Amino acid sequence: MLAERLGISLRTLYRDIEALEAQGAEIDGEPGVGYVLRPGFVLPPLMFSVDELEALMLGSRWVAQRADDPLGQAACNAMAKIAAVLPADLREGLDESTLLVGPGTPISAGDAGLPVIRDAIRRERKLMISYIDADGADTRRTIWPIALAFFDRARIVVAWCELRAGFRHFRTDRIGALSLTAQRYPRRRAALLREWRASEGISAQ
């Protein structure tokens, strides 16, 4: 199912299809059967409101300062690409944005492993890690990473832990060695993420 592959709800999928049709896309099909996008449709150029641009700028500044270096650089590159196609007046407003990210305590521990963790999440690959738990015990675990959460003072990997046979949260500053395996975990990330949200009482965004 397309919605499951994209990790979105059916309501979101139908809404997106309606939005494409409203912009002139010719889409054949119907709910429950499937959809085919006829060739020749090109999305119109993106345009943002001032509030949307300020939200994007604030978000990119936060990522640039609080995420690991590769992700921070990616945020800066993305904003540069957006700025390059904006009209002059909006581009000037972007450069002069007054929404700033306040200073925070640097979080360096665990940074080196974040690109590997993100890669594992995207590719639905198992990770082998050594992990020091809250009691100071060093354990070896195989996990199925499904999400990475950024907090002010910590970064947390949400994963299914084979050792504990359940969902667990791993602080990246407590992860020692880690290695990406060639093994895909046996279930789709989107399904696991839904189950984790249900177990934690978190509604889907």
Residue spans per domain, the chain: 2-37, 50-95, 111-200
Tell me what pLDDT residue 20 has.
72
What distances in angstroms separate CA 138 from CA 1, 110, 153, 175, one per listed residue? 41, 16, 22, 9
User: Residue 61 and residue 74: Cα distance in Å, rounded?
Assistant: 11
Question: Which one-letter amino acid corresponds to residue 142?
Answer: T
Between the two ends of the chain, the Cα-to-Cα distance in Å is 20
Tell me what pLDDT residue 23 has.
63
Q: Which residues pair with 17 in a beta bridge?
A: none
Q: What is the pTM of this model?
A: 0.70
Tell me what pLDDT residue 82 has.
84
Q: To 10 degrees, what angle do helices 69-84 and 88-95 make?
A: 150
Tell me what pLDDT residue 205 has.
57
Which CATH fold topology does 111-200 show?
A: SH3 type barrels. (2.30.30)
Tell me what pLDDT residue 6 has.
67
Non-local (6+) Cβ contacts of 158 within 8 A are 145, 146, 147, 148, 149, 167, 169, 193, 196
Q: How do the pLDDT tens digits run along the chain, 205 residues long?
A: 667 776 677 777 777 777 777 766 677 777 766 777 677 655 555 677 888 888 999 999 989 888 888 998 999 999 888 888 777 777 887 777 788 888 777 665 667 789 999 999 999 999 999 999 888 889 999 999 999 998 877 899 999 999 999 999 999 999 989 999 999 999 999 999 999 999 998 876 5
Backbone angles phi, psi at 180, to 5 degrees: -85, 130
